Structures are given as C-alpha cells and as structure tokens.
C-alpha cells in the first residue's frame, strides 16, 4: 500500500480538483468583498495618472507628415527637380530618376498654440489647442508589415503582444462583461494581419477582440431560437465542470483557463454587447456630429462613436484602423480623400469626450507606421506621391495628460529626417505607458528565459510630451 506523505498530499492538492475548488471559493469570496480574481479585473498602475483608457487611431500605410502636420515650404523651390541626396542618389537611379515633390496642400497656423495643419483638416484644426504634436519619432523599417508590428507591438518580426494587450495586462479592464482590448479594423485586415493585436506570449486573456466592420460586429452574438439564458447557463456550468476536470490534469496549460474564461465572457457579452454596439439610441445631433450618414465619413464616424461608447463602458484600450495611406502617387487625391473621411469623425470624438468629461481620462493617439519622403520615383510620367520614410513622421495625442497645445520635436527643412528631440519608437511606447500610469521597466512578463517588456530592452520616457 502506497502511503502519501504530507508534502505529496499538498502537491496533489495544488494540481488537482482541490485547486479548482479552492479557486472557485476564493473567487466567490472576492466577489462578496467587491474584488475579483479575474485576470481582467482592474489593477492599480505603477504611477498616478490622468489617463485610464486609450483610443489608438492607426492610419495604416504611412500618412505623409509633409502633407498633414509638418509643412516644408522649401520643397516649392525644388519641385520636380532631380533628387540629389548624398549617398542615396546612385542606388535610387538604378530604378529610374527621382524628383522632389512639393505638397499640393496649403498650410495654416491654428489655435493659440499656432499648430501647423494642412488646410483640408477643416474640423480638427478647430481643436488644435487640444493636440500635442510630436515630430521626433523614428522607426527601423520601411516595410509595411514589419513597421506595423513595431508600432503596434514593439518588435518588427511579430509574435509579441500588442499595445492593448500590454495595457490590459498592466491595468485590467473596468468592465468584466466586455473584452478589455477591442479592435475596429477595416474589411481587409492591416498588413501583418491579426498579429498586430495579438496577446503574443502574454496569457490569452489579453488578446485584442476585433469587431467586424460590416454586418453583426460579433458573429453568433444571439443564442439560437428557443435557447433560454437559463439553459445556456446550465450548459456552460456542465462544460466548465468538464474543463475543470481536464485542467486539473494539465495545470500548466494556460490556454485552457483562457478558453474557460472566454466562454464565461461570451455569455456575459450576450447581455452587454447588443446595447454597447447599438448606435440607434444616439440622438440625431450626435450622429451628425460624427458624420454618420455622410458618404465620406460614415464608416470611420461609426468607429469613432463606437470607441466613445466602449470607453464610456469601461473598455481599457480601443484601436481603430483606417487604411490606404500608402500614397506613392497622386497624393493630393489619395490623402485628400482620406483626410476627408477621418477629419470630422476624429474631431467629433475629441469634442464628444470633452463634453462628457472623459477627455482628461482618455488618451487619444494618432499615427501611422512611418512617415513619407520629400521625393518620389516616376513611373510612366510624373507621379506626385511619396515613398516610405522611417526617419521622420508626425504623431499627435489628445487628452490623458499629454502636453496639449504644443509641438515637440522637428524635422529638417525638407522633412527627410527628425533633427530635434529625436527618439526611437520604443521611447514613445514608454511615454504612452507612463501616461497610463505604467512603468515599462516594471511591466514585464517572464518568457523564454527572461523578463520581456514592450520596449524590448528598455527605453526613455519623452518628458516633453507629458503635461
């Protein structure tokens, strides 16, 4: 007869149904005391912070800073003259001549801050003093997928957690009936696909949940006809028992616990989501403010209004995608149409959050994966467009304790490279986390033999971007 000693008994308790039962008891206790053991339960940050939520506006394709928020009048004198940048002309000439291209847009100074903005930003320009422009950011890649991964995940090669995953890992979420990290993509996913909002090596609880841009935002949200909530609850309880039995035999399998939690979240979402994603309850004035119903503004307007509703309901991180900013030719037409589609919705989002008292606690970020060059190649005639540029770009922020009403950093006279307050994107990521009350050096996860972090190996907070 095999005798079980005290040590083995305790070990078995920790790897058997005893642990599941203990977890359930602790969970019940936590609910009774107003706390929770859920991985998405709200957590305190490392620092006091104004920002509690983040809305990240991702302009996929690389918007041109030269044609939006960083005017370069010197290009007028060089327009269509041959590009002669030292060390680059020879290699560029192999694929044909390159020419400088002036911006087709005119610029003005706006607000008391005198912010530079192209004149076609007719709505956002009225809110110039709510914005903090940063012109000193640089990235490593001119390739769309790798640049997207670096901007969204800190790593060019994919497989790492997205920004929203890190933020929800650090802070949890304020609404346990909705995912903590929501993504509003376009019909076609961005370059690099869903890896842009992956949980990476973090537990699966923290991955982004995309909402479909057309039709039902979440498939199978409603139960089949005749299936009551009580029946669903009974089925889920039975499934959880089976899963708990299996989890007891495989205690190290994190994915199983995440799957159990996802079933529970899905059940709760059936009650919460229909109201959260329903825009019919918004009054006509609000719909008009966001440009909903307008041919150019309807799609992004709906995303912006939905982002406001999600933040209002306690979702921690919402990322919105707007694509096709990769303007290698006809930039006046391409960027003109794109600005027209996002200008009014973004301005409405800022105004709406402000009047609801939510702007101060919500950090809004606008950026692409890189900037554009002051020159372009010519294919079959003159093409007024721009190529990819990792050395210069414009990012702006609003709300959430950012240094609104200021323009930080600068690029050279042609917009080719950042020359003032220059920082790698890892420093911008550290700053974004700091605005949300998180320390990049403390927000770590042990994986593959070392503690990993968003910045990869540490970075510096850009103090000038913080009020």
Q: Under 8 Å CB-to-CB from 391, ≥6 apart: which residues?
A: 138, 371, 416, 417, 418
283's tokens: 């009054």
Q: Residue 342 and residue 364: Cα distance in Å, rounded?
A: 14
At residue 34, the pLDDT reads: 47
Report d(CA 172, CA 181) in Å as an integer: 10
Lowest mean pLDDT among 30-44, 150-164, 434-448: 30-44
| Confidence at residue 214, expressed as pLDDT on a 0 to 100 scale | 75
Q: 394 pLDDT band (50/70/90 cuts)?
A: very high
Q: 1 in a domain, yes or no?
A: no
Task: Work out how many domains the chain is built from and give that number.
Answer: 1
Judge whether 313 and 175 are in contact, CB under 8 Å: yes
Q: Is it the case that residue 344 has pLDDT exceeding 90?
A: yes
In a domain, 231, yes or no: no
In the chain, the percentage of residues whose pLDDT exceeds 70 is: 80
User: 432 in helix, strand or coil?
Assistant: helix
Token pair for 350: 């800022």
Q: Per-residue DSSP letters for 298-324?
A: HHHHHHHHHHHHHHHTT-SEEEEEE--
Identify whether 229 is part of a domain: no
- Residue 310 near residue 320, CB atoms below 8 Å: no
Is the pLDDT at 373 greater than 60, yes or no?
yes
Above 50 in pLDDT, residue 24?
A: no
CATH of the domain at 157: 3.40.720.10
Determine the structural domain holding residue 65 and report its residue range: 38-220+283-465
Residue 10 is predicted with a pLDDT of: 41
What mean pLDDT comes out for the span 234-250? 77
Contacts of 199 (CB under 8 A, 6+ apart): 161, 162, 165, 205, 206, 207, 208
Give a yes or no: residue 259 inside a domain: no
The crossing angle, in degrees rounded to 10, of helices 298-312 and 331-355 is 30
Q: Which class for 317: exposed (0-12), middle (13-18), buried (19 or more C-beta within 10 A)?
A: buried
Token pair of 408 as six digits: 């930080």
258 falls within a domain: no
Number of residues that this document lists for the chain = 467
pLDDT higher than 60, residue 70: yes
Cα(422)–Cα(276) distance, rounded to whole angstroms? 40
- Say what the pLDDT of residue 272 is: 63
pLDDT, position 221 = 63
Q: Is residue 166 part of a domain?
A: yes
Q: What is the pLDDT of residue 33?
A: 47
192-231 confidence digits (pLDDT tens): 999 999 999 999 889 999 998 877 666 666 667 776 777 7
Please name the helix (run of DSSP H) or strand (run of DSSP E) that holds residue 296, with its range, or none: none
Contact 320, 98 (CB under 8 A): no
DSSP string, 371-430: EE-SEEE-SSS------EESS---EEEESTTB-TTEEE-EE-TTSSSEEES-EEHHHHHH
Tell the residue number behind the tokens 């971007």, with chain if given: 465
């Amino acid at each position: 007869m095999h005798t079980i000693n005290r040590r083995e008994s305790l070990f078995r308790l920790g790897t058997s149904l005893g642990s599941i039962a203990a977890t359930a008891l602790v969970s019940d206790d936590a609910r009774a005391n107003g706390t929770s053991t859920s991985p998405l339960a709200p957590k305190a940050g490392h620092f006091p912070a104004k920002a509690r939520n983040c809305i990240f506006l991702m302009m996929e394709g690389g918007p041109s800073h030269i044609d939006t928020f960083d005017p370069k009048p010197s290009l007028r004198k060089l327009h269509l003259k041959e590009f002669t940048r030292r060390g680059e002309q020879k290699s560029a000439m192999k694929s044909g001549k390159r020419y400088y291209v002036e911006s087709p847009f005119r610029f003005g100074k706006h607000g008391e801050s005198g912010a530079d903005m192209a004149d076609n930003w007719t709505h956002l320009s009225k809110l110039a003093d709510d914005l903090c422009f940063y012109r000193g950011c640089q990235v490593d890649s001119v390739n769309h997928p790798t640049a997207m991964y670096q901007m969204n995940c800190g790593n060019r090669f994919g497989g790492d957690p997205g920004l929203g995953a890190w933020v929800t890992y650090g802070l949890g979420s304020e609404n346990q009936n909705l995912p903590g990290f929501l993504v509003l993509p376009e019909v076609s996913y961005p370059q690099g696909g869903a890896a842009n909002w992956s949980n990476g090596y973090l537990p699966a609880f923290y991955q982004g949940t995309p909402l479909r841009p057309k039709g039902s935002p979440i498939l199978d949200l409603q139960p089949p006809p005749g299936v009551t909530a009580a029946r669903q609850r009974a089925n889920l309880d039975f499934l959880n028992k089976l899963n708990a039995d299996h989890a007891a035999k495989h205690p190290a399998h994190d994915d199983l616990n995440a799957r159990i939690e996802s079933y529970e979240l899905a059940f709760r979402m059936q009650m919460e989501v229909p109201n959260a994603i329903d825009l019919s309850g918004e009054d006509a004035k609000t719909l008009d403010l966001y440009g909903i119903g307008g041919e150019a503004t309807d799609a992004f307007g709906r995303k912006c209004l939905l982002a406001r509703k999600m933040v209002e309901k306690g979702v921690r991180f919402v990322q919105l995608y707007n694509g096709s900013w990769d303007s290698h030719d006809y930039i006046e037409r391409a960027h003109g149409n794109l600005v027209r589609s996002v200008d009014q919705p973004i301005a409405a989002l800022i105004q709406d959050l402000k009047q609801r008292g939510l702007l101060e606690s919500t950090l809004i970020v606008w950026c692409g994966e890189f900037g554009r060059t002051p020159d372009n190649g010519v294919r079959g005639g003159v093409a007024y467009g721009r190529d990819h540029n990792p050395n210069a770009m414009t990012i702006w922020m609003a709300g959430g304790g950012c240094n609104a009403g200021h323009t930080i950093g600068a690029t050279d006279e042609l917009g080719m490279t950042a020359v003032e307050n220059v920082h790698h994107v890892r420093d911008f990521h550290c700053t974004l986390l700091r605005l949300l009350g998180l320390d990049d050096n403390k927000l770590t996860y042990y994986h593959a033999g070392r503690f990993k972090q968003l910045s990869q190996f540490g970075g510096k907070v850009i103090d000038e971007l913080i009020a």
